[in-house]
Structure 1
Amino acid sequence: MSTLNRGPEVFDHSHLEVSPGEKELITVARRLAYENFGPRAERYDAENRFPTENFEDLQRHGLMALRVPKQYGGQGASSLTQAAVTLEVAKGDPATALCFTMHNTAMTFIDLLATPEQKERFFGRVVREGVKFSALGSEPQASIFSGNLPKTVLTRTQGGYLLRGRKAYCSFGPNADLAFVNAMLGEALVGVVVPLTAPSIRFHSDWNTLAMRGTQSVSIDFEDTFIPEQDVITTPLNLLLELEYGVGLCAAYLGVAESAYRYARELARETMKRTLEGEAGHGHPDAGRLFSTVGEMKISLEPAWLMLKRAALMEPVGSFERTWALAEAKYVVGEMAAKMAQQSIRVAGAKALSRAFPIERLFRDAQAGLVMAIKPDHAAYLAGRFELGVLPSGMTLAANPTGFALSPEDLPQSKVD
């Protein structure tokens, strides 16, 4: 059923404001999703298994170097192209799209923060060897979006550093080759590139979940893992930059939403044909319900894409304005995708509950968007503070993407976090 003809695309990237070469990358991603990723997705989900073959395809077609700058042999694609490519990948397999997002996020971090020598080395391995990067920031007891700094720390030792701490929800799990890990070096938050084959790294078998099963997002312990000095990226890691993975994250859930909608739309057409051929015709109660629900679903998709597009185009990367635009996009996309998946089941009817149809899996995957940072309720809470001019303590930057904030000198500083 994964090869069901779902009708015309909702998001048509043919007029996207990117180069012809980047449009070709989007086309390649779409073809891989339909021909390869989609037919495999049910098996990865059922077996709770990492989509190894999908990443071999992405590497073979140059997409693992999507965000590697051209001067280092990569595609040099823009954030907007990254969003479009990830959306297409997600139409085939959302778990692949999420892991792909973490790889691209690591590429963005390295491009912004690493030294020329580090870029040459790390990007070179991606391009020449096909290494997969994960980006590990989440921890069980710390949330930077609530103002907490990581508990993972670096301590000096002979010839380098020792890394100690636990990271949670580590997409790729043991299937990545290298990881960009954030950690505290004294009072500075920095990035560390860690080979995941180091003997002092322990992977937990704690990923048997409702949704996004193929990501294999296990917890990882670093037990005094030795890090050579040249693998520590000492340019401070701006906390705002941590939400940069929202570019791919939002795109992945948009792909889930579009796929759920298009499967439901196809099944609804079959139902509508039978309904209109019946004696009641347009007067049948199902007719009005299907018309209005499908219409609402279609209308909901486009604004979510436009919010992500706005965030992806906003410069510079790591700025408050871009970060906040990503948070707002995450709120809209996360809520919309979950609702879209629920509506798809109602439109398609009881058959959508069958695993013979991908809607059941897409429904489960959509739920994960409601709990992945930045959570929709956190985004809404902070939006209210910004719009009413009550900043969290210690925050002095007042501009926001909607343009309604007061000037910095007029904003009261709240003592409440």
Structure 2
Amino acid sequence: MNPRKLHHAWVVAAAVFVVLLCAAGVRATPSVFIVPLEREFGWSRTLVSGAVSLNLVLYGLVGPFAAAIMQRFGIRRTMLVSLVVIAVGVALTNLMNTPWQLFAFWGVLVGLGTGTTAMVLGATVVHRWFVARRGLVMGLLTASTATGQLIFLPILAAMVERHGWRSVSLGIAAVVALVVPLVALVVRDRPSDVGLRPYGARPGEEEQVAPTTNPLVNALATLGRASRSRDFWLLAGSFFICGATTNGLVGTHLVPACMDHGIPEVRAAGLLAVMGVFDLVGTTTSGWLSDRYDNRWLLFWYYGLRGLALLYLPAAFGMSLLGLPVFAVFYGLDWIATVPPTVRLTTQTLGSTDGPIAFGWIVAAHQVGAGAGALSAGVIRTNLATYTPAWVVAGAICMAAALLVLRIGRGAPRASMAAEST
């Protein structure tokens, strides 16, 4: 192989980046649909938040099974099926006019489809195709999941305002469908499929063999082994809080909260786009840092700073000029920077074999937290006519998470932790 030729691992990573970007754009859509659905159908914010919550929970719960399915049937096949499910689910929302259809199409179909093209996909690709630069690549792929979600929001908001939410749902479905040929063309399951070893692999280093066990059994067996580890519960608990305070709360409710304060929908979505730009910087940098520094302390700072940002947010709404932009920049840098250190700590504490599937269960906890955050904030807004208690509680639990993560790996052999971080 020509050493100057681009390793196919980077081509696969680029294709997965595009897939995650598109899936993130799909997940961004409920933020700009909430108010139009309220106006057209008279549905309460609690009802719409319930469908979003179901989407987020299924998005997470499918993760460990998706990781096991990828191990058994391959990354490429799994991605193709999930993209088709997403496209069909989003297209069908154009036909809905009753609450059960909202829950079935957006909650179930889109939730299951996007859950397969999620953080577990990035973790599986990084683990299988890379030995060197794992933290950096995971940072880039993770950034795409949040950056896409946030950057697409102003475009979606403007389209909803100009053309209505139904035409937007058809447009999104078409974009997802266009990604299918890209995946079929360039993505391969393993480096050996194209006659290569993983990027950065040492001579003679063996590639892991695909398991032949039932994916359902494999996922549940991994959960059984992981659940006996205190570190698994610390990682899952902190990631639950991460999901509740990002996708669930801010990702779902910041736009309608801004509208409550008289800020137009497109301008409010622009704030989330600013977060997306800075998230790309913050999460990529986090991946670089996770290759070099103690990941527990990185998480301590990420959760602590996020908590301060959320406690500042109620005051930011009352500031005339810089309040919300300052929040958007600061919070954006920290939006999902927690993922690369969490992935590394999962592998360090639970092993390279169980790591990808165990991380799928940890992502499930993240999305259960996201669902709880989305639903509880909707209930608070419906009953109290304000989001302020939701922001304050979210800030407080982030502070608690900052302390929890320092307990991860306590009592683990220092040598193994150090070896994994190199």
Same structural fold, with TM-score higher than 0.5 when normalized by the shorter chain:
no
Q: Which has the higher strand share?
A: 1
Relative to the length of structure 1, the TM-score reads 0.35
User: Over alpha carbons, which structure has the higher Rg?
Assistant: 1
TM (normalized to structure 2)? 0.34
Greater helix share, 1 or 2? 2
